[in-house]
Amino acid sequence: MNKTKILLNGLIKENPTFVLLLGMCPTLGTTTSASGGLGMGLSTLFVLICSNVAISMAKNIIPDKVRIPAFIVIIATFVTILQLCMQAYLPDLYETLGLFIPLIVVNCILLGRAEAFAAKHTPGDAFFDGLGIGLGFTVALTLLGCVREFLGTGHIFGLPVYPEEYGSLIFILAPGAFIALGFLIAIIHTIKTR
Amino acid sequence: MKKIDSTFWNMLWSLTLITAVAGGLLGYTHRLTEEPIARATKAGREKAIQEVIPEYDNSPIDEQQTIVVRNEYGETPTIVYPAQKEGRLSGAAVECSNNTGYSGEIRIIVGFNADGSIKDYRVLKHEETPGLGAKMNEWFRSEKNDQNILGKSPAKNKLQVKQEAGEVDAITAATITSKAFLGAVRTAYEAYIETTKGENHE
C-alpha cells in the first residue's frame, strides 16, 4: 500500500476530529489554549504510533475472541509509560494536561485504529497510519486551541495579540468549545467540497 | 504465520504473554523514572518556596513541620517551611488547602514575613473555572482597587471578601473561589502563628 496515501488519509480524508468526530472528550477538554491542544495531540500521536506498531506485530498471536482486552492492555502500557516519562522530564506540561493523559487509554481513536487498521496491515503501514491519524489529531487540536485562546483571551500560544478585556470568556468554557469546533468543521467542509 | 485460533489454551497463553510483557515494561519504566519524578516534584516545591519567603540561609524543606489547623473549615493539615536567617526566624512558607471552592481542592503556598504580613503567594493546584476562578494567582497581587493582599497581615486586616464584610475585592464572577482562597490564606496564617509560638518557647 502507498505510504503517502495512508498518511494523507489520516491527516485529511479521515481526520479524526474534523471528519470522524472521534475523541471529543480530550478535544474539548484540553484545547483551552493552543499549547494545551498541541501537547495533547503529540501525546496521542506518540501512543498511537507505538500501539499501532505493537498491535500489528502481535496480531497473529492474538486470538480473535480476546483481541479487545489485548489491545487495551497494549494501549494502556504505552499511555502509562508516556505518563511516567512526562511526569519525570516535562513536569510543567504534565501539570496542564494532568488528568487527560490517563484518559488517552479510553480514547476511541486508538482502539478504532487498532481494530480497523493495525490488526489487518503490516507494521510498516500501521506506523504510517498512526503517524497520519496522530498528526491529523494534533493539527486539529492545535487549530481549535488557537481559535479558542485567541477569541477567549486575546493570546496565541501565550503571546498577547489584543488586550484580554476584549476577549469573550465563553470560548474558554465548554460551550465555546462546541461553537468553535462546529464553525471549524463547517469551514473545512466548505473548502473540501469546493 | 497464520493467525492462531480462539481455543481456550491459545487465549490463555496469549493474554498471559501480553500482560507479562506489559508488566515487565512498566516495571522497568517505573524504575527508570522514579528518581527523576521525585526530583521534579521536589524542585517544583522548592521553587515555589523560594519565590514566596524572605531571605534565608537554612533549608526550609528539610525543616518542614506538619501542623493541623482546626477552624471553621474543620481540620486542615498544613506544612510549614520555616525560613531562618542567622539563626533567627525570618518568616515561613505555609502550604495548605481549602475544599470550599467552586470545584475541588485549592492548594496554595503563602509566604509570611517575620511580623506575619504576607510576602507573596502561589497557587499550587486548583480545578476552578478557567478564565474566572483560575485568575486567583494574578488577581490578589494586582494593585487595582482593593484586590491586593500582599503586605497585609491577617492579624490587622480583615482578609475576607467584601460580600462578607471583609476588605478584599473578590474576583469578578468568582466570589466562591475568592472566599475559599482567602480561607486558605487565613488557615495558613493560623499555622504560621502556631509555629512561631513554638519558637518563642525555645
Residue range A48-70, pLDDT digits in tens: 999 999 999 998 889 988 999 99
Question: pLDDT band at residue A162, thresholds of 50, 70 and 90?
Answer: confident
Question: pLDDT band at residue A189, thresholds of 50, 70 and 90?
Answer: confident
Alpha-carbon gap: B141 to the closest alpha carbon of chain A (Å): 17
Beta bridge pairs of residue A138: none
- Give how many domains chain A has, as a whole number: 1
User: Any idea what the Cα angle at residue B187 is, between residues B195 and B120, rounded to 5°?
Assistant: 85
A61 and chain B: CB distance < 8 Å anywhere?
yes
- Residues of A in Cβ contact (< 8 Å) with B1: 60
Facing residue for A70 by CB, picked from B2, B5, B18: B18
Among all chains, which residue has been given the C-alpha cell 515555589? Answer: B48
Query: In angstroms, how far is CA A32 from the centroid of its own chain?
Result: 15
Helix axes A67-89, B8-52, angle to 10 degrees: 20
Could you give the ipTM of this predicted complex? 0.79
pLDDT confidence of residue B201: 42
Question: pLDDT band at residue A178, thresholds of 50, 70 and 90?
Answer: very high
Are the Cβ atoms of A60 and B2 closer than 8 angstroms? yes
Query: Residues near B17 by Cβ (< 8 Å), separated by ≥ 6?
Result: A61
Q: What percent of chain A has pLDDT over 70?
A: 99
The rounded mean pLDDT for chain A is: 88
A165 and chain B: CB distance < 8 Å anywhere?
no
Phi, psi (5° rounding) for residue B81? -110, 100
Give a yes or no: residue A9 inside a domain: no
* Closest residue of chain A to B20, computed from CA coordinates: A73
pLDDT confidence of residue B3: 78
Size (chain B), residues: 202
B33: left (phi over 0), alpha (psi -120 to 50) or beta: alpha
- CB count in 10 Å sphere of residue B20: 10
Q: What are the grid coordinates assigned to B149, written together?
A: 493582599
Return the domain boundaries, chain B: 1-52, 65-195
Cite the DSSP H helix spans in A59-159: 67-89, 91-97, 108-116, 123-153
pLDDT confidence of residue B202: 40
Question: pLDDT band at residue A46, thresholds of 50, 70 and 90?
Answer: very high
Taking only the tens place, the pLDDT of each residue in A89-106 is 888 888 777 778 888 888
Give a yes or no: residue A11 inside a domain: no
User: What range defines the domain where residue A58 resides?
Assistant: 18-193
Alpha-carbon gap: B176 to the closest alpha carbon of chain A (Å): 18
Facing residue for B37 by CB, picked from A88, A172, A173: A88
- Residues of B in Cβ contact (< 8 Å) with A82: none
Distance CA B103, CA B180 (A): 10
Contact B33, A86 (CB under 8 A): no
Query: Residues near B13 by Cβ (< 8 Å), separated by ≥ 6?
Result: none
Contact B183, B74 (CB under 8 A): no
| pTM of model > 0.80 | no
Q: Count Cβ atoms within 10 A of the Cβ of residue A90 and give its class: 0-12 exposed, 13-18 middle, 19 or more buried.
A: middle
Residues of chain B with pLDDT under 50: 201-202
pLDDT confidence of residue B127: 82
